[in-house]
Amino acid sequence: MTITGSPTGVDHGLAGDETLDVVAIGNAIVDVLVQADDRFLDDQGLTKGTMALVDEAQAQRLYGSVGAGLESSGGSAANTVAGLAQLGSRAGFIGRVRDDQLGAIFSHDIRAVGACFATPAATAGASTARCLILVTPDAQRTMCTYLGASVGLDPVDLDLEMVSRARVLYLEGYLWDSEPAKRAFIAAAEVARAHGGEVALSLSDAFCVERHRDSFLELVDGHVDLLFANEIEITALYRANTFAEAVEQVRGRCRVAALTRSEAGSLVLGGGDSHLIEPVTLGPLVDTTGAGDLYAAGFLHAYTRGLDLQTCGRLGSLCAGQVVTQLGPRCQVDLRELARRQLALEPLSSNQAP
């Protein structure tokens, strides 16, 4: 467990000519999970369930005022990639860490589940991104993110050869907070589509949608085949008054929209139909960190195997239902075995892809 030195140069174990089910671009982040109460959120001016960006000084001040933590690799799209790899998908991740101890932890963990990760670690500049996740007694998480080295993701860092082999290129909306990362994503989306891949976007967070509404609207109409959003995000995107109104707005704008609603399950729009998906409860609710990320993992695993949208939604619900029973955003159980047991989904080859 030597957590020093540069996390570059590791063989990612995937042959250079293989098709990848999903390649994701996102912020490469290590999470610091701490318990907090509602009063602490109020005192710090934080809005429960959302993500706030902080600079290094704010991060330092906040960290100094919270209790002992548990560290886990995180990052929204990276969590999705880890879930996909655990399910048996061939998945790759593109994101930027620094050559520091947290960067080595991030790099180890995403490769350890079998994902391909080869973005060179920065050798200078800001340290690896960290997210302070405050878990309240109601299991909700509230995040304060210091983007650090992640912000520097540039088109130059993109492994476009890997992108060209993706069936689905997946983006987290959080990247929109960084101009170079945003440009990197648009460049990658063009390459993916030129090679027959589809483009997926997760809206990530309501505040993130508020910050970047116009460019998200443009992106959804112009580049996105699969859209992932929760109720608050999709409502914010279309400035709708109700979920139903937002549903009517998004219908037909992209091939598939998967809209999650926490304990109300999810609604999947596609092929002119709507599919209502029940939520899955596997135990007491402990921490909602990673719920949306794991929903996307389950969904995309089934999707890239050519399964129907109902099954995609059900596998998404199952993976989300698992991750909320534990602390942290990376599943600590065998997801393949869970899918087999709960949905009778046998390990699937991706040759049946759409």
Is position 324 an interface residue for its own copies (rule: CB under 8 A)?
no
Dihedral over Cα of 100, 102, 108, 114: its sign: negative
Cβ count near 190 (within 10 Å): 15
The reply to whether 109 sits near its own copies by the rule CB under 8 A is: yes
9 near its own copies (CB under 8 A): no
Position 124 contacts its own copies (CB under 8 A) = no
Pattern 14-33, binding to its own copies, x per CB under 8 A? ------------------x-
Binding residue (CB under 8 A) for its own copies from 184, 300, 330, 339: 330
Span from 149-157, 167-175, 290-298, 326-334 in contact with its own copies (CB under 8 A): 326-334
Which of 278, 337 has the CB closer to its own copies?
337
Q: Does 158 bind its own copies (CB under 8 A)?
A: no
Q: Of 276, 118, 295, 270, give the one whose Cα is nearest residue 198.
A: 270
Look-up: residue for tokens 């139909």? 273
329 binds its own copies (CB under 8 A): no
From the CB of 67, what's the least distance to its own copies, in Å? 5
Of 56 and 218, nearer to its own copies (C-beta) is 56
Q: Which of 8, 44, 50, 101 binds its own copies (CB under 8 A)?
A: 101
Minimum distance between the CB of residue 100 and its own copies, rounded to whole angstroms?
6
Query: H/E/C letters for each residue in the chain?
Result: CCCCCCCCCCCCCCCCCCCEEEEEECCCEEEEEEECCHHHHHHCCCCCCCEEECCHHHHHHHHHCCCCCEEEEECHHHHHHHHHHHHCCCEEEECCCECCHHHHHHHHHHHHCCCEECCCCECCCCCCEEEEEEECCCCCEEEEEECHHHHHCCHHHCCHHHHHCEEEEEEEHHHHHCHHHHHHHHHHHHHHHHCCCEEEEECCCHHHHHHCHHHHHHHHHHHCCEEEEEHHHHHHHCCCCCHHHHHHHHCCCCCEEEEECHHHCEEEEECCEEEEECCCCCCCCCCCCCHHHHHHHHHHHHHCCCCCHHHHHHHHHHHHHHHCCCCCCCCCCCHHHHHHHHHCCCCCCHHHCC
Binding-site member from 1, 15, 156, 344 for its own copies (CB under 8 A): 1
Q: Applying CB under 8 A, which of residues 108, 193, 255, 261 lies at the interface with its own copies?
A: 108
Residues 202-221 that bind its own copies (CB under 8 A): none
Separation between Cα atoms, residue 243 and residue 43, nearest integer Å: 31
**Quick check: 284 binds its own copies (CB under 8 A)?**
no
Residue 340 CB, nearest distance to its own copies (Å)?
18
Instruction: Give, as ranges, the residues between 137 and 156 that touch its own copies (CB under 8 A).
Output: 144, 146
* Minimum CB distance to its own copies, residue 343 (Å): 23
Closest CA relative to residue 63, chosen from 97, 99, 36: 36
Where in 55-94 is the site for its own copies (CB under 8 A)? 56-57, 59-60, 62-64, 66-73, 82
Q: Which stretch binds its own copies (CB under 8 A): 275-283, 299-307, 314-322, 325-333?
A: 325-333
Nearer to its own copies, 81 or 258 (CB): 81
Q: Least CB distance from residue 239 to its own copies, whole Å? A: 33
Closer CB to its own copies, 66 or 353, in the complex: 66
* # of chain residues touching its own copies (CB under 8 A): 41
Using rule CB under 8 A, residue 328 touches its own copies = yes
Q: Which stretches of the chain bind its own copies, using CB under 8 A?
A: 1-4, 32, 35, 56-57, 59-60, 62-64, 66-73, 82, 100-102, 105, 108-110, 112-113, 127, 130-132, 144, 146, 327-328, 330, 332
